């Protein structure tokens, strides 16, 4: 499946409305919790599904729980037992999607659209036994395809599957996106439309940069990098899965009228038609910076410092090592703010053994990242970033780069200024009045 | 399984606490919606289960939805579509029991009692495809027994099963009682304890007759007759099933401390140790009386009148035919108040063909029934009833009798008086101060 197949299909689908001579497109429509939060929203979703199907497409739907329901179920479980059996937790919380799937099937029936609900175990969507955050092992598309062959819209409870022992397992928060992508792959859908409360992926956060612009396309890799630094529209796992399975994912809003040009399509790099150096700019205020000074400059010292942190389950992100005078070195790195206390405790424990000097931490930092597959072949991206921030007098505390991302750590109070300056510098600003 | 087996088991169970030499008893504990209405009640239920298990018994639990939840789900379905697909309706409403089963398993875990939830499809409990009021076709007790063999308490979502197509099916309102009895039969339980918000079956309604007395025993047949005339403690279907499968059902309260003498045990007639003429007195205010006069007294006239009513799904109960003068007859019968309008409409439609005179209806009637297996061999029961009511000046409008029940239709305003007089006449009054 490539973008060309997809375009061909779209063309054929348009044809088929007149000539009926080609196979219809298959579309998965996924609706999140805010999109099905009450009966009125469920009716609106039913109407959207009816319209998609009326175009002559085969449609399968994936739904989340009505918003608030999952939280209530989680509260029930935690209140009864803070260490609730994860398999029982799953049986309880999976009920939310079960309800929505049945209700949407009923709402579709009221519009004259034949529909039936599917729970994870009815598909079956097989998972491993990591209850509460299970991974999908296999999806059998047979029943869903048979359903669509009969003109019936399958309405699938997202977020849930069944393990090898026949117990309900949930995929963890945001797991309905992953359900939708896995199901789209299983039924060889031409597109997987993720309806949410935003109308697409933006070049940056519109609350901070008002010239932020909706992207028509973004690559899987860019999406992954943006998601990991704070632009949480799609669950990261679902993007990785879409990349591996080459599922065309589109993010669009369930709160406005949409057409085939709405939202943002997530595509493979080969298929990307928008060749830009930088696709988006993200920020994160969730990091803490830790600096340890006068570390002995010995071989293996980095491993001796970071292995215990890793063993404790702490995720160390940006690392900079700077050589000081007198055969010592300074080590700076970031962890998430929530892990900062635990990280310092572990570092204090190893101080006698390592024999370092100061240990300083700061939570007053922001991480700014520019992301774009174009920077693979262009070294000017980093230069632009450094020069732009320097012109605004912003000091770079840590720099880290990956193939398609450059991140810098700066003083938190400069975050908005840095974001706006970079958005302009990379030519991402929407034309006046053409913004979201 | 007979009452003697059961007593033996009880004796052995008491032994086993000291010697461990005999097989443990198996008990099904079923908790209705009010018994699990919130987390606090679920904790209390968990504690009750822990105590039963601590006696050395094997315990399986069946739960209803938290009270109110099923009604909300039904409202959701009906609001979206008054003619909701019954299979989808089932997927939605069955979620209530799913939640309770998981939560109770979690609450048991918090008490250190190993437990796991079972949904209908996980057992499996197979039903027919009459969604919304499915009948149980088969229950596989294997998984539940294996669970108990491992010392784990199975916590089963009542009210639900799975049909041959793998779709969730519910057993209709009150179906959790039927689930409990069917499961008790499948795992060959020694007893099926139905915990509810009353502490047993009474000789009559304690709100009307304050001398009403809790029965220690009642036969299946008596229970069926009492349930069908208004004493709605156990779902009628569950009693019929218990009778066929010879399951010892006990009704008791989940709101008080209970022991082996609590509640009312429903037993086979052969096992009944309390040989009384009359076990209970019930009433119903749900009937309407219909009288048609001057019906031609021809062969087959009753069939011509009642067949169309039956074809329309109307349940005709008491029927009396009295011969009038001039080759005509009067026909009096009862239908439920809700069916009265429809019945009259049908009767009016057949008036030209049948050629009867007046059509009169009255909703101002009460049906009083005395029930007891003892009346099989004693004709004095009816005489006592008629004489007692005559002494109070109460006119009998219709009389109907079955093997173990005598019912009379009287003016509604005499209902309480009739109930109290009969309760005394049959010697059912509790000793002063020994009432409920």
Helix (H, G, I), strand (E, B) or coil at B107: helix
The answer to whether B111 and A132 have CB atoms below 8 angstroms apart is: no
Measure CA A206 to chain center.
18
Which residues touch A387 (CB under 8 Å, ≥6 apart)? none
Q: What is the pLDDT of residues A74-115, one digit of tens each?
A: 999 999 999 999 999 999 999 999 999 999 999 999 999 999
Closest CA–CA distance from residue B62 to any residue of chain A (Å): 15
Residues of chain A positioned with their CB less than 8 A from the CB of B122: 166-167
Q: What is the DSSP string of B384-418?
A: HHHHHHHHTTPPPSEEEEETTEEEEEEEGGGHHHH
HSE, side-chain direction, 13 A CA sphere, residue B169:
22
The answer to whether B156 and B118 have CB atoms below 8 angstroms apart is: yes
Residue B166 sits at the chain A interface (C-beta within 8 Å): yes
Q: What is the pLDDT of residues B245-285, one digit of tens each?
A: 999 999 999 998 888 889 999 988 887 766 678 999 999 99
pLDDT over 60 at A11, yes or no: no
Q: Determine the Cα–Cα distance for residues B46 and B43; give it in Å rounded to an integer.
A: 5
ipTM field: 0.80
Which is nearest to A259 in space by CA: A199, A180, A187, A197? A199
pLDDT over 90 at A42, yes or no: yes
Q: Which range has highest mean pLDDT (B15-19, B152-156, B171-175, B200-204)? A: B152-156
pLDDT in the model for residue A228: 65
Residues of chain B positioned with their CB less than 8 A from the CB of A101: 91
Top-confidence residue, B436 or B220: B220
Residue B356 sits at the chain A interface (C-beta within 8 Å): no
pLDDT over 60 at A224, yes or no: yes
pLDDT in the model for residue A375: 85
Residues of chain B positioned with their CB less than 8 A from the CB of A119: 91, 168
Total length of chain A: 436
Q: Determine the Cα–Cα distance for residues B97 and B325; give it in Å rounded to an integer.
A: 60
Residues of chain B positioned with their CB less than 8 A from the CB of A42: 80
Closest CA–CA distance from residue A96 to any residue of chain B (Å): 8
pLDDT interval class at B7 (50, 70, 90) = very low
The answer to whether B222 and B282 have CB atoms below 8 angstroms apart is: no
Residues of chain B positioned with their CB less than 8 A from the CB of A78: none
> What is the number of helices (H) and of strands (E) in chain A?
13, 20
Which of B40, B42, B84, B102 has the highest number of chain A CBs within 10 A, making it the mutation to test binding with A? Answer: B102
Distances (CA, A) of B214 to A334, B205, B261, B266: 71, 10, 12, 13
Closest CA–CA distance from residue A258 to any residue of chain B (Å): 24
Q: What is the pLDDT of residues B355-377, one digit of tens each?
A: 898 999 999 999 999 999 888 87
Q: Determine the Cα–Cα distance for residues B334 and B317; give it in Å rounded to an integer.
A: 5
Residues of chain B positioned with their CB less than 8 A from the CB of A153: none
Strand A168-170: give its sheet, edge to edge: A136-139, A125-127, A160-162, A168-170
pLDDT in the model for residue A37: 96
- When pLDDT is averaged across residues A30-39 and rounded to a whole number, the result is 96
pLDDT over 80 at A6, yes or no: no
pLDDT interval class at B19 (50, 70, 90) = very low
Q: What is the pLDDT of residues A342-353, one digit of tens each?
A: 999 999 999 998
Asked whether the beta carbons of residue A76 and residue B39 sit closer than 8 angstroms, the reply is yes
pLDDT over 90 at B12, yes or no: no
pLDDT over 60 at A10, yes or no: no
Q: What is the pLDDT of residues A383-432, one digit of tens each?
A: 899 999 999 999 999 998 888 999 999 999 999 999 999 999 999 998 75
Closest CA–CA distance from residue A58 to any residue of chain B (Å): 21
Asked whether the beta carbons of residue A87 and residue B116 sit closer than 8 angstroms, the reply is yes
Residue B73 sits at the chain A interface (C-beta within 8 Å): yes
- Give the mean pLDDT of chain B: 89
Q: What percent of chain B has pLDDT over 90?
A: 68
pLDDT in the model for residue B174: 76
Closest CA–CA distance from residue B125 to any residue of chain A (Å): 14
pLDDT interval class at B389 (50, 70, 90) = very high
Top-confidence residue, A324 or B340: B340
Q: What percent of chain B has pLDDT over 70?
A: 91
pLDDT in the model for residue B71: 94
- When pLDDT is averaged across residues A143-163 and rounded to a whole number, the result is 97
pLDDT in the model for residue A435: 41
The answer to whether B28 and B180 have CB atoms below 8 angstroms apart is: yes
pLDDT in the model for residue B342: 94
pLDDT over 70 at B15, yes or no: no
The answer to whether A401 and A225 have CB atoms below 8 angstroms apart is: no
Burial of B391 per CB tally in 10 Å (0-12, 13-18, 19+): exposed
* Residue of chain B minimizing CA distance to A162: B122
Asked whether the beta carbons of residue A85 and residue B98 sit closer than 8 angstroms, the reply is no
Residue B169 sits at the chain A interface (C-beta within 8 Å): no
Q: Determine the Cα–Cα distance for residues B172 and B90; give it in Å rounded to an integer.
A: 9
pLDDT in the model for residue A18: 42
Residue A79 sits at the chain B interface (C-beta within 8 Å): yes
Q: Determine the Cα–Cα distance for residues A177 and A207; give it in Å rounded to an integer.
A: 24
- When pLDDT is averaged across residues B76-81 and rounded to a whole number, the result is 97
Residue B105 sits at the chain A interface (C-beta within 8 Å): yes
Q: What is the pLDDT of residues B133-148, one digit of tens each?
A: 999 999 999 999 999 9
**Ranges A101-110, A258-267, B82-91, B408-417: which has the least confidence:** A258-267
Residue A81 sits at the chain B interface (C-beta within 8 Å): yes
pLDDT over 80 at A128, yes or no: yes
pLDDT in the model for residue A252: 93
pLDDT over 80 at B228, yes or no: no
pLDDT interval class at A225 (50, 70, 90) = confident
Asked whether the beta carbons of residue A91 and residue B76 sit closer than 8 angstroms, the reply is no
pLDDT over 50 at A17, yes or no: no
Tokens for A139?
Answer: 């999806």
Distances (CA, A) of A200 to A261, B205, B213, B310: 11, 64, 69, 60
Asked whether the beta carbons of residue B80 and residue A107 sit closer than 8 angstroms, the reply is yes
pLDDT interval class at A8 (50, 70, 90) = very low
pLDDT in the model for residue B275: 67
pLDDT over 60 at B185, yes or no: yes
pLDDT over 50 at B45, yes or no: yes
- When pLDDT is averaged across residues A42-65 and rounded to a whole number, the result is 97
Which is nearest to B367 in space by CA: B292, B303, B330, B418? B418
- Give the mean pLDDT of chain A: 89
Which is nearest to B101 in space by CA: B75, B123, B126? B123
Which of B75, B85, B87 has the highest number of chain A CBs within 10 A, making it the mutation to test binding with A? Answer: B85
pLDDT over 80 at B9, yes or no: no
* Residue of chain B minimizing CA distance to A163: B122
Q: Which of B80, B88, B102 sits opposite A117 (nearest CB)?
A: B88
pLDDT in the model for residue B231: 60
The answer to whether B120 and B161 have CB atoms below 8 angstroms apart is: yes
pLDDT over 70 at A3, yes or no: no
Residue A91 sits at the chain B interface (C-beta within 8 Å): yes
Tokens for A315?
Answer: 């995720």
Residue A70 sits at the chain B interface (C-beta within 8 Å): no
The answer to whether B398 and B334 have CB atoms below 8 angstroms apart is: yes
pLDDT in the model for residue B17: 40
pTM of the entire predicted model: 0.82
Closest CA–CA distance from residue A301 to any residue of chain B (Å): 45
Q: Determine the Cα–Cα distance for residues A214 and A151; give it in Å rounded to an integer.
A: 35
**Ranges A10-24, A75-89, A358-372, B343-357: which has the least confidence:** A10-24
């Amino acid at each position: 499946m490539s973008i060309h197949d997809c375009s061909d299909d779209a063309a054929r689908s348009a044809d088929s409305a007149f000539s009926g001579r080609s196979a219809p497109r298959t579309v998965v429509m996924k609706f999140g919790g805010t999109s099905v939060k009450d009966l009125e929203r469920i009716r609106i979703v039913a109407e959207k599904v009816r319209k998609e199907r009326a175009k002559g497409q085969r449609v399968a739907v994936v739904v989340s729980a009505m918003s608030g329901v999952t939280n209530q179920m989680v509260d029930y479980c935690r209140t009864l037992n803070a260490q609730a059996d994860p398999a029982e937790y799953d049986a309880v919380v999976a009920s939310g999607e079960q309800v929505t799937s049945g209700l949407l099937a009923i709402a579709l029936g009221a519009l004259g659209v034949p529909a039936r609900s599917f729970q994870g175990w009815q598909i079956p969507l097989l998972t491993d036994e990591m209850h509460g955050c299970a991974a999908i092992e296999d999806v059998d598309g047979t029943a869903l395809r048979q359903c669509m062959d009969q003109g019936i819209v399958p309405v699938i409870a997202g977020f849930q599957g069944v393990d090898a022992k026949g117990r309900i397992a949930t995929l963890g928060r945001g797991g309905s996106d992953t359900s939708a992508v896995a199901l789209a792959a299983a039924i060889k859908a031409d597109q997987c439309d993720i309806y949410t409360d935003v109308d697409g992926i933006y070049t940056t956060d519109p609350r901070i940069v008002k010239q932020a612009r909706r992207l028509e396309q973004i690559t899987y890799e860019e999406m992954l990098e943006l998601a990991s630094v704070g632009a949480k529209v799609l669950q990261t796992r679902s993007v990785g899965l879409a990349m591996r399975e080459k599922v065309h994912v589109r993010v669009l809003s369930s709160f406005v009228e949409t057409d085939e040009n709405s939202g943002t399509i997530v595509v493979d790099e080969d298929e990307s038609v928008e060749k830009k150096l930088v696709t988006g700019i993200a920020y994160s205020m969730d990091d803490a910076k830790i600096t340890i000074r006068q570390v002995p400059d010995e071989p293996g010292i980095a491993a001796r410092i970071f292995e215990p942190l890793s063993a404790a389950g702490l995720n160390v992100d940006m690392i900079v090592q700077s050589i000081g005078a007198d055969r010592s070195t300074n080590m700076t790195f970031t962890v998430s703010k929530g892990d900062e206390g635990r990280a310092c405790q572990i570092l204090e424990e190893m101080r006698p053994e390592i024999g370092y000097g100061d240990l300083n931490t700061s939570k007053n930092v922001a991480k700014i990242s520019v992301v774009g597959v174009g920077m693979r072949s262009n070294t000017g991206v980093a230069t632009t970033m450094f020069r732009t921030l320097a012109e605004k007098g912003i000091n770079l505390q840590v720099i880290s780069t990956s193939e398609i991302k450059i991140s810098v750590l700066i003083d938190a109070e400069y975050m908005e200024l840095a974001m706006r300056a970079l958005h302009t510098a990379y030519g991402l600003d929407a034309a006046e009045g053409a913004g979201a």
